[in-house]
Copies of this chain bind each other. A is one copy, B any other.
Amino acid sequence: MTTKAELTSQYILEIVAPIFNKNGYAATSLSDVTKATGLTKGAIYGNFKNKEDLAIASFVFTVKNMLKRIGEHLLNSDSPIEKLYLITDFYRNYYDYSKELGGCPVLNIGVDANNQNSLLLQKVRQVIERIQDQVTTIVEEGIEAGEISAEINALYFARRLDTMIQGAIFMTYTMDDDFYIQDTMDLIDRMIDNELKI
């Protein structure tokens, strides 16, 4: 059964996670939190140990949303190579989608936590490694299935994919121009065509 506190915790995260994601840790105050939720400090501190705990829970909350969404999108095909195309396809809509979350959590919190909050930074690294692991697995399955050239280093490709996508997200957000994401996805698609596909 779900207690009232669990519902409240969930409600707080829904409201607060985009704020932390947008503003960063230091720029988000507890009065921002209470104002946005309409709750008092009593309710916040009853459900979260402290500000840091709330920030970490917020990051995890946002990432879960994101990973769930991309996971669902990848169900649209069983073919590994098609799954790679589905990844770029997913990110073609990422600017609009991620705006609802307050931006890309990996980029925002990754930069924000660097040199600031080692616990948060640790969480970001875990997420990045997890994403790269999943892409690596897809490529390896593609090689086994004979869809992808066996000469491809799956992990290296996963890292490159991730690096290019993060760069595109940063540029699109900073310049407020979706061109960067669209063009980068075109480029990645061509890389898959020319270098991976058998």
Q: Taking beta carbons and an 8 Å cutoff, which residues of A are in contact with B?
A: 22-27, 102-103, 106-108, 110-112, 114-116, 121, 124-125, 128, 156, 159-160, 162-168, 170-171, 173-175, 179-180, 183-184, 187
Asked if B163 and A171 make an inter-chain contact with CB atoms under 8 angstroms apart, the answer reads: yes
Q: Which residue in B112, B160, B170 is a CB contact (below 8 Å) of A187?
A: B160
Copies of this protein, total? 2
Contact of A163 among B103, B124, B162, B164 (CB under 8 A): B164
**The one of B27, B156, B166 that contacts A167, using a Cβ cutoff of 8 Å:** B166
B-side contacts of A164, CB under 8 Å: 163-164, 167
A23 touches B184 (CB 8 A): no
User: Are the CB atoms of B111 and A174 closer together than 8 Å?
Assistant: yes
Closest to A191 in B: B187
Are B166 and A170 within 8 A (Cβ)?
yes
In contact, A174 and B110 (Cβ under 8 angstroms): yes
Q: A26-B27, A103-B114, A174-B111 are in contact. Are A183 and B156 (CB under 8 A)?
A: yes
- Cα A27 to Cα B51 with chains together (Å): 14
Docked CA distance A171–B162 (Å):
8
* A124 contacts across to B, CB distance below 8 A: 174
Give chain B residues whose Cβ lies under 8 Å from the Cβ of A159: 171, 179-180, 183
Q: Would you call B22 and A175 a contact (CB within 8 A)? A: no
Report the bound CA distance from A166 to B121 in whole Å: 19
Q: Is the CB of A174 within 8 A of B23?
A: no
Taking CB as reference atom, which chain B residue is nearest A19? B115
Seed contacts A110-B170, A164-B164, A170-B170; 4 additional CB < 8 Å A-B pairs: A121-B174, A163-B164, A164-B167, A167-B167
